[in-house]
Chains A and B, each alone.
Chain A
Amino acid sequence: MGVVLIGPALLLLLLVFLWPMASYLWLSFHAQNLFTDLQPVPVGMLNWHRLVLDARFWQDAAQTLRFALVSVSLELGLGLAMALLLNQRWRGRGLVRSLTLLPWALPTTVMALGWRWIFNDPSGPINGVIAGLTGSTLPFLASPSLAWLAVVFADVWKTTPFVALLLLAGLQMIPADLYEALALEGGSARQALLRITLPLLRPYLLLVLLFRLAQALGVFDLIVVLTGGGPASSTESVAGYAYLNAMRFLDFGYSATVMIGMFGVLLLLGGVLLLVLRRPARA
């Protein structure tokens, strides 16, 4: 009976998730490129050997990881601050709540085009300000050390509201009388934050962390539009590299290997995070 009831959901999951994953895994043991006339030919571990030795893959993996860790940390910190602020009572809160969601509602490509203009050297508005102050401009999108920060900045701008929204929902689940009880016991606002808010927000923080990490590790559209992965592939993500292999080099077998390899890294990371964070706070 139980199997029948979850059947439809299970079928959907198999169809849209497990089946593509399985066929990609299968493809990673095949060559399917221009040399094989785009037909899959079994090659054993060849793609995997290539992946292990592929410096560009490891560079992209490190870049993607750095991007994900830095931007998700910033988003969690800023999103938490924003959620705490929006959870207080003040005039105009409703309006601000709606306004803060705007960046998140904007399509990524549109906002990435906007940021490309804002970061433009020398005619973007940021460089306009910098030129006014210092007389010179900064090559935000043309310098490897600045371009990845520009990507992080744009991503934080776009997704912090989403984090704030989820955390706000969590904050609103905390009954007000817990704070009143703590205040009557002599607790300060800081103690309320540490003793009540953060522990009770923990499941929401974990949820947001997993959500955002999974999304950030698969980052693609933002980078393609903002920097195109450049300069000198210094902002290229693993997803971008897989896309490049499949769509530019028409090497579908290796592209699948890159994707599955990254999926393995993701799985490992997610598992570790769950193990570390899911343990409930010690009673």
Chain B
Amino acid sequence: MTVSSTISSTTTSAATALQLEGISRRIGARTILEDLDLTVSPGECLALLGPSGCGKSSTLRLISGLDSPDRGRILLGERDITALPPARRQVAMVFQSYALYPHLSVARNLSLGMEIRGVDAATIARDLDAVLELLQLGELRQRRPADLSGGQRQRVALARALLRRPQVFLLDEPMSNLDAQLREELRPQLRAILCGGGAPVVYVTHDQQEAMGIADRIAVLDAGRLQQCGTARELYHRPATLFVAQFIGRPQINVLQEPDGSLLAVRPEHLHAVREGGLQVRVVSREWQGASQQLQLDTARGPLRWVCDGGRSIGDAVRIAWEPQHEHRFAAGGRRLTA
């Protein structure tokens, strides 16, 4: 039996889906979440993506029981857990701050929860050794959190979540305190560790690269409302709202006003130069990015962004066009129009 399966064995046996039904949350007059429906299957990793203040962290707090919804239900399999206190939900959360106990060593940080739950000493010792080995924390077991690097703290927080043997994993921007390179290195590891256990994983981030890299599906939130929930491909190729179109993809999608008041959106990477026809543009500025360059264009229909690999210079006059299948059309209110 491998180390990771030792830790995850109990989560696999009891794997159930997490379901949010019509969740609403208000604080005073402010709407935090409005009528949110989400389902996360066993073993699936769902990313909650959105700008700060969109309600993604609030959703985690509702799932964990640290906050209660004003309306709606939270289900684990068949069980309604909406009214359960956090201590009885069997939910593990990795906090953005990691929330490690500063006065305890790594080993005691990890074993405290098990002690509290009355796990017997032999099991504690066995699980502790297993998780320390899995996350390569063995040599740090006597250190205090203050003596650990950001990446090490994150691993301890993750280990603590694993030892909870949760029915749901919640992660609140677990990578935001790490540098960019470490983030990319950790993504596949984190994914392997989290999703192997069979519990649903909800991963909050504001970084679309991270969401795409780690999640099976992505739920995009804006101002407390679910904009779209789907795979990264779906969000990129068929954004349901203008917000999703603009939030997913870098550089940001071009939006052109149509005569009838609707909006036409085309991604900068889907523009190409043509000999005749198309749109007459002039290159205003450019950023060289290695494999491609990003151009700012001036056109009769307003400014555009263009990602191309050719050697264009500032001041060049070009004609550009795009394929019809790359057009996204939205109503003035932001809803998608095209099929």
Q: Using CB atoms and an 8 Å cutoff, list the residues of chain A in contact with chain B.
A: 175, 177-178, 180-188, 191, 195-196, 199-200, 280-281, 283
Contact = CB atoms under 8 A, between A and B. Distances in A.
B142 interface: yes
Contacts of B178: none
A177 B99 contact: yes
Q: How large is the interface on B (under 10, 10 to 19, 20 to 34, 35 or more residues)?
A: 20 to 34
A186 B108 contact: no
Interface in B277-302: none
A200 B95 CA distance: 20
A200 B103 contact: yes
Interface in B102-123: 102-105, 107-108, 112-113, 116-117
Contacts of B153: none
A191 B99 CA distance: 16
A187 B160 CA distance: 14
B24 to A, nearest CB: 22
Contacts of B107: 283
A280 B117 contact: no
A186 B164 CA distance: 9
Contacts of B142: 283
Contacts, number: 70
A185 B116 contact: yes
B93 A181 contact: yes
A36 B92 CA distance: 80
A199 B103 contact: yes
The secondary-structure label for the interface of chain B is: loop
A191 B116 contact: yes
Given A178-B99, A183-B85, 16 more contacts: A175-B99, A178-B102, A180-B66, A180-B95, A182-B113, A184-B86, A184-B89, A184-B91, A185-B112, A185-B117, A195-B116, A199-B103, A283-B105, A283-B108, A283-B142, A283-B144
Contact of B101 (A178, A186, A191): A178
Contacts of B152: none
Contacts of B104: 283
A122 to B, nearest CB: 54
B86 A183 contact: yes
Contacts of B93: 180-181, 184
Contacts of B29: none
B95 A177 contact: yes
Contact of B112 (A188, A195, A200): A195
B87 A281 contact: no
Contacts of A188: 87
A199 to B, nearest CB: 5
Nearest to A181: B99
Contacts of B89: 184
A35 to B, nearest CB: 60
Contacts of B117: 185-186
A185 B102 contact: no
Given A185-B117, A186-B113, A186-B116, A180 B105 contact: no
Given A186-B116, A283-B144, A181 B103 contact: no
A280 B103 CA distance: 9
B91 to A, nearest CB: 6
A177 B107 CA distance: 19
Contacts of A177: 95, 97, 99
Contacts of A281: 103
B203 to A, nearest CB: 16
A158 B104 CA distance: 36
A258 B46 CA distance: 74
Contacts of A181: 93, 95, 99, 101, 160
B167 interface: no
Most chain B CB within a 10 A radius of its CB, from A181, A188, A200: A181
A183 B112 contact: no
A184 B116 CA distance: 11
B103 A184 contact: no
Contact of A184 (B92, B97, B112): B92
A178 B160 CA distance: 13
B247 to A, nearest CB: 28
B179 to A, nearest CB: 22
A-B interface, 8 closest residue pairs, ranked by CB to CB distance from nearest:
A185-B113, A283-B105, A177-B99, A181-B99, A183-B86, A186-B117, A199-B103, A186-B87
